[in-house]
Amino acid sequence: MVRPRIGRRSLSASAILTILSMLCVTGCGGGQKDDTLTVFAAASLSESFSAIGKLFEQGHPDMKIRFSFGGSATLARQIKQGAPADVFAAANMETMRQSEAPTFRIFARNRLEIAVPKGNPAHVAGLSDLARPGVKVALCAPRVPCGAAAATALAAAGVTVKPVTQEQDVKAALTKVRLGEVDAGLVYRTDVRSAGGEVEGIEFAEADKAINDYPIAVVPGTRRQVAAKEFIDIVLSDQGRRVLSDAGFTLV
């Protein structure tokens, strides 16, 4: 007599569901690990946040920190589209609002300088020189914070500049200057300082009209709320503020 194989299909289905559940536990986190804190930050924060990240890891030996540096507008868009980030630090208020973070803290300010290659071969002395025929200028794209600040400063000076390139973040604009591909670029004071002696910085009065506030926030929906807040605490701490000040930021 052949015995009926009762429940074989239901058992197989149960086993499949169990396997899928186990896979989800290990793989449904969108690529984020619980021991990794992901920080999206404006490109101009690369050096200072990398140093602050080391301070965070020293106090959290069980965690690693992963940075994604780039144009603030691009980062805000990625966060809004669901990119796995825990902390967002932007180079102006507008891009922070685009990320839809409900609360944030302003932790620093930055101002523009004219960056020129070492030796200043085009003899640039101020904003008006950027409009001279033959002077090649790099700006950030208009929707990037450094580009918006540049537009404000140039308008305040009554100067119209036709850039040969518009970059997606301030580090890219600085690179054009550093490599001698342009005669000048409008970048942040902190970026001139980070380049060491590879570029020279020229201050100008209209920079006072285009100061950028830097906000920082916990990204809505992160599973690492506590760690994210602790990273922000380090940014706001005396140690973090010292790093930012040394980089050329104005503290608030």
**Residue 116 CA, distance from chain mean position:** 23
Q: What is the pLDDT along the chain (252 residues), one digit of tens a residue?
A: 444 444 444 444 434 333 333 333 333 444 445 799 999 999 999 999 999 999 999 999 999 999 999 999 999 999 999 999 999 999 999 999 999 899 999 999 999 999 999 999 999 999 999 999 999 999 999 999 999 999 999 999 999 999 999 999 999 999 999 999 999 999 999 999 999 999 999 999 999 999 999 999 999 999 999 999 999 999 999 999 999 999 999 999
Q: Which helix (H) or strand (E) holds 77?
A: helix 72-80
Asked if residue 205 and residue 217 are part of one domain, the reply reads no
Residue 30 included in any domain = no
Asked if residue 205 and residue 116 are part of one domain, the reply reads yes
Q: What's the number of domains the chain is made of?
A: 2
Other beta carbons within 10 Å of 222: 18
pTM of the model: 0.85
Range of the domain at 135: 112-209
CA dist 225 and 128 (Å) reads 48
Asked if residue 218 and residue 204 are part of one domain, the reply reads no
**Cβ atoms 44, 110 nearer than 8 A:** yes
Asked if residue 128 and residue 196 are part of one domain, the reply reads yes
Q: What is the CATH number of the domain that holds 224?
A: 3.40.190.10
CA dist 178 and 193 (Å) reads 12
For 68, list phi and psi in degrees, rounded to 5.
-125, 105
**Alpha carbon of 218 to those of 14, 98, 189: distances in Å?**
39, 14, 27
Chain length of the chain: 252
The token pair that represents 197 in the structure block: 């002696």
